[in-house]
Amino acid sequence: MILEELTKVTSHPTADEIYEMVRKKLPRISLGTIYRNLEILSECGLISKMEIGGIQKRFDATTENHYHIRCTVCGRVDDIDGEVFENIADRFKDLNGYKVVDHRLELVGICPSCRNDSHSQ
Protein fold of 64-121:
Dna Ligase; domain 1 (3.30.1490)
Per-residue pLDDT tens over the stretch 65-119: 888 888 889 888 888 888 888 777 777 777 777 777 777 778 899 999 999 887 6
Domain spans, the chain = 1-62, 64-121
Q: How confident is the model at residue 16 (pLDDT cuts 50, 70, 90)?
A: very high
Long-range contacts formed by 39-48: CB under 8 A, 24+ apart: 41/2, 41/3, 46/3, 47/3, 47/6
Task: Give the separation between CA 23 and CA 109, rounded to whole angstroms.
Answer: 32
CB atoms within 10 A of CB 34: 23
Task: Give the separation between CA 51 and CA 12, rounded to whole angstroms.
Answer: 11
Domain with residues 1-62, CATH architecture:
Orthogonal Bundle (1.10)
CB atoms within 10 A of CB 9: 14
| Cα–Cα–Cα angle for 18, 20, 22, rounded to 5 degrees | 65
- Give φ, ψ of 117 to 5 degrees: -65, -40
Is the pLDDT confidence value at 121 over 60?
Answer: no
Is the pLDDT confidence value at 120 over 60?
Answer: no
Instruction: Kindly report the pTM of this predicted structure.
Output: 0.72
